[in-house]
Chain A
Amino acid sequence: MTQETVKKNELNLTKEEKEAVFTTLKRDLTLPEAAMLEVMNSEHCSYKSSRPVLPKLPTEGPQVICGPGEDAGVVDIGDGLALVFKLESHNHPSALDPYNGAATGIGGIIRDILCMGARPIGLLDSFRFGPLSNPHTKWLLKWVTKGVGDYGNCVGIANAGGEIEFDPSFQVNCLINVGCFGVMRKEELALSRATTPGDKLILLGGSTGRDGIGGASFASKNITDESESDRGAVQIGDPYMKKLIIDATLEAIQVGLVAGLKDLGAAGVTCSISETADAGGTGTEIDLEKIRIRESDMEPWEILVSESQERMFFIVKPENVEKISAIFKKYDLPYEILGTVTDSGHCVVKYKGQKIVDLPAHLLTKPPTTKRKTRKPKYLSKLDQKWLPKEPKVEEYNDLCRRLMASDNIISREWVYRQYDTEIGLHSVVKSGEGDAGVFRLQEFGTKRGVAVTFDGNSSQCYLDPYNGSAALLVEACCNIAAVGAKPLAFTDCLNFGNPEDPEVFWTFEKAVEGLADAAKVLEVPCVGGNVSFYNHDEANNVAVKPSPVVFVAGVLEDATKAVNKKLKAADEFIFLVGETKTELGGSEYAKVAYNSENGLVPQVDLSKAKLIIQDIIKVIKEGLVTACHDISKGGFFVALTEMALAGNLGFDINLRRIVADTERSDIKLFSETPARFIITTKEENIEKIIATFARHEIPASFLGKVSSEKRLVIQDKDKQLVNLSLDEINQVWKYRLEEEMEGKKEER
């Protein structure tokens, strides 16, 4: 090989990583080899910091078909069907270029579902920004929403839900996590493996350009003053081509022409040729000149690590190449046959007749991990867990309630989700904004079953207590699934943290994983995949994001027509609170809005009890005893019940005296965020059955009052009237504030 070489001391890797490379190779590297190793050793591709910690998460269960390691998790939902789902971050690109960053986040997550063999049918998103009133936040929110919407709408995949949290720690480093799910018959499962030497390697789709060069490396460092110059690391999406790729790929799978499938995301071709070879115990050999490049002067290393969008990597038996080509031609999709699967265990790349890369596949896919130091953060010892505000005066409640309903983290997200197609596919039975989870029926598979999906995050609680905050978060997400009547099956996570080289950040990461793991074990909801995003750290201001694990929980309903939403249905129906209320105000919206306080106790979930409550909620919904259901989260009981009233355009008249709580204080009963609590409504004839169901497990189910046709929110505690507000007045601030912030005040649309 007569070409530019890279010596050990010139390689941009840690000492251990270099050792691993040069002990195996015993020679200098070519420039493309060095580029490939650098990108595959990046935090984003190698999970080098997180890999030692992640095995704490339970990953097994009878429902699991594919756990972590594949492009997406796969679970059995019965009737011969499998649900494929995944959640991923696109934080760094979106912070720089919110439109393209968010759009290609959607593009990437769609490919993860597709490359398991399923048609993607639903999308979810999770955003974290600085305070809403800040102009930079508005700029980010506007373009992130448009990026997600334009891409998802054009590809024709419905939105199924999402969540947004505003907090100053996300001012520079916004967090943009996106999820996708699809359903397939179990036998259609495709794997990202090259198992048979002689099979052909085909690259389908877009040309390879300089966009997204080093995207994985860019996502593996902090955002600094110079990050603007990394704009080239953000990819540009083409949803129209993605739509054609989806149709062509599914058509090829259905007629059995695909032996293996891999999407091109982080690290591009490098990742595809190495991961498929390593997973299949084979090797790969490609001819780099076959790849269509967008700019004629691209260097081989650039082609190998480019993250250009809209490309899929197929492994095809030689005898099927012609047939699969016909499908690609039908859709006018460009493709190239790059090379062949070999038995060498190596990834070999040829360019202009020269061998420019010859690396063992495992050297690229299994780089060494890094043991990070951990230390309990100093800020935690300053917190006062016993903090409680002074109890408000009776006459202060109306105003407190108004302020909560108008706060950044409570107001309606309608301005966002109206920009997404929520109807396409004819699946959405419980739509965005209607319930705690999105429910999709699966009519095209000839089953009555449906899937329920939800995203959840809670950085305020995870910041104060990463362990309990994360455990509560997974419980809360499972409650979302139960609240529509579905059984939670499994989750995937996206762990968004600051710089892992900071021991205090890494301590919060470890605790968060432990919290998720413990909750997952008790709830029997295993982790089937995930993504870790570190370096969400603003160097200019030295601010790390609050620890922000986000979970995507999926569940199944035996009969999608039995799903319930949160809308109050009819006057005089009975309102019940299920579960016990505790004095847990730490990280609550009440503490933040009313007292600007980050003190107080974060909910300490009784996991075994939560599991029973979830089971019983599913049971009463399945038996048709419940007319509406909503689980309690941000803002506590008051916000949850008011959201039900707003959705149903009906009022309520209740008394708090029967609430089972560890306190007599009305503000805590109204605003504590103790998880594993639900509000349900029911008709008179079903009250006995409901109470009996919960009594079996000694779960309190307290009758509080009734739905009223008068559109007022009326709350008493014993003989004190605390709240008496007009529903329309609350609706004005809650429903329209986001639109007014984004568009200026104007008439309703």
Chain B
Amino acid sequence: MPMKVIVIQFSGSTCDRDLVYAMREIMGWEVDLVWYKEVTHKLDNYDAIFLPGGFTYGDYLRAGVIAAYTPVMQEVKTLAKEGMPVFGICNGFQILVESQLLPGALIGNDTLRFSCKWVNLRVETSRSAATKLGVKGDLWRIPIAHGEGRYFIDEKGLKELIDNDQIVWRYVNEHSEPTKESNPNGSIDNIAGICNLEGNVVGLMPHPERAAESILSPWETDHGRLYFKSIENFHREMM
């Protein structure tokens, strides 16, 4: 049985079709792309929920904040707390943070500029639903494209993230070191993605759906597949 997942298309989502393509054509999953106002099927019929990237409501207020208050997100929140796997990429991550499903905040890049480039991510834990197949220390090449991707959290919160093994990816250099130069946006502690305590809610700023085929990668890598493969694995373990 292939995975059956839903991608929620919000007003202003732009990466929804790419995410559907990667999961349907590359991974062979069953994928429903549903407009946020038309989510009529019960969400708990799905194996996982995806919140795609984009500029919901133009990001005219704070990135992700208006989408976080849509009725469909209330249902996503309830299900996430019951253990439903929920994944947010880029603007989807911002929505998860604004919905308080994940701690911290995503603020404007320290460069004050939008930045699109391929970065190196180091997998920091295999306990999240999106890194089941990753081994701590693995290096994934995946592109970013954001203006507000600088992860921030207070000192106490950061300590909790570290203590609870909730930091999933860090930005690193070619030698897998989390340096200042390899941090594209000024994120605290080079954080690129995190998960909740249970590991079923995962957000990251880079775009794995853009890195799932070698033809799209300057290095001919397909590390984005590891993200989706991990999710498959997580799902199998849950069954």
Contact = CB atoms under 8 A, between A and B. Distances in A.
Given A149-B114, A423-B116, A423-B145, A429 B215 contact: yes
Contact of A156 (B15, B111, B115, B215): B15
Interface stretch (B56-64, B77-85, B100-108, B229-237): B56-64
B11 interface: yes
B116 A243 contact: no
B181 A156 contact: no
Contact of B209 (A150, A240, A426, A747): A426
A425 B116 CA distance: 14
A240 B116 contact: no
B54 to A, nearest CB: 6
B25 A153 contact: no
Given A332-B11, A419-B115, A426-B216, 17 more contacts: A146-B113, A153-B145, A154-B14, A156-B54, A156-B55, A240-B58, A240-B60, A244-B11, A419-B114, A423-B210, A423-B216, A425-B17, A426-B213, A428-B216, A441-B215, A443-B25, A560-B215
A243 B113 contact: no
B113 A419 contact: yes
Interface in A419-436: 419-426, 428-429, 431, 434
A122 B35 CA distance: 24
A226 interface: no
A422 B145 CA distance: 8
Contacts of B147: 153
| Size band of the interface chain B makes with A | 35 or more
Contact of B210 (A419, A426, A743): A426
Contacts, number: 92
B216 A243 contact: no
Which of A331, A419, A428 has the most chain B CB within a 10 Å cutoff? A419
Interface in B33-85: 35, 37-38, 54-55, 57-60
Contacts of A332: 11
Contacts of B113: 146, 418-419
B227 to A, nearest CB: 15
Interface in A392-448: 418-426, 428-429, 431, 434, 441, 443-444
B181 A561 contact: no
B210 to A, nearest CB: 5
A60 interface: no
Given A429-B215, A444-B21, A747-B180, A154 B143 contact: no
A148 B107 CA distance: 22
A422 B213 CA distance: 16
In terms of DSSP, what is the predominant structure of the interface of chain B? mixed
B22 interface: yes
Contact of A154 (B37, B38, B55, B209): B55
A539 B16 CA distance: 49
B21 A443 contact: yes
Contacts of A424: 14-15, 18, 145, 210
A424 B22 CA distance: 12
B137 interface: no
B111 A749 contact: yes
B37 A330 contact: yes
B64 to A, nearest CB: 14
B218 A239 contact: no
Contacts of A238: 58
Nearest to A743: B111
B117 interface: yes
A556 interface: no
A154 B59 CA distance: 8
B193 interface: no
Contacts of B215: 429, 441, 560-561
B170 interface: no
Interface in A690-705: none
Contacts of A419: 113-116
Interface string B138-150: 0000010101000
B117 A418 contact: yes
Given A419-B115, A429-B215, A239 B58 contact: yes
B181 A747 contact: yes
Nearest to A431: B218
Interface of B: 11-12, 14-15, 17-18, 21-22, 25, 35, 37-38, 54-55, 57-60, 111, 113-117, 143, 145, 147, 180-181, 184, 207, 209-210, 213, 215-216, 218
Contacts of B57: 240
Contacts of B213: 426
A182 to B, nearest CB: 14
Interface string A311-333: 00000000000000000001110
A412 to B, nearest CB: 13
| Size band of the interface chain A makes with B | 35 or more
Nearest to A156: B14
A271 B20 CA distance: 39
Contacts of A656: none
B35 A330 contact: yes
A225 interface: no
A150 B116 contact: no
The 3 closest A-B pairs by CB, nearest first: A156-B14, A240-B58, A154-B55
16 contacts: A149-B114, A153-B55, A153-B145, A239-B58, A240-B58, A244-B12, A330-B35, A330-B37, A330-B38, A418-B113, A421-B116, A422-B116, A423-B145, A424-B18, A444-B17, A747-B180
B45 to A, nearest CB: 23
Nearest to B16: A156
B205 to A, nearest CB: 13
Interface string A721-743: 00000000000000000000001
A743 B112 CA distance: 10
A429 B216 contact: yes
A748 interface: yes
A155 B14 contact: yes
Nearest to B216: A426
Contacts of B117: 418
Contacts of B114: 149-150, 153, 419-421
A243 B213 CA distance: 26
B21 A748 contact: no
Given A421-B145, A748-B181, A426 B21 contact: yes
Interface string A323-363: 00000001110000000000000000000000000000000
Contacts of A434: 218
Contacts of B18: 424-426
B116 A420 contact: yes
Contact of B55 (A240, A330, A422, A748): A240
A421 B91 CA distance: 14
Contact of A243 (B12, B25, B143): B12
Nearest to A560: B215
A749 B180 CA distance: 8
A387 to B, nearest CB: 42
B55 A243 contact: yes
Interface in A144-191: 146, 149-150, 153-156
Nearest to B207: A423
B184 A749 contact: yes
Contacts of A426: 18, 21-22, 209-210, 213, 216
A423 B143 contact: yes
A440 to B, nearest CB: 11
Contact of B14 (A243, A428, A431, A749): A243
Which of A244, A418, A429 has the most chain B CB within a 10 Å cutoff? A418
A431 B216 CA distance: 9
A418 B115 contact: yes
Nearest to A241: B58
A419 B115 CA distance: 5
A747 B11 CA distance: 38
Contacts of A425: 17-18
Contacts of A561: 215
Contacts of B17: 425, 444
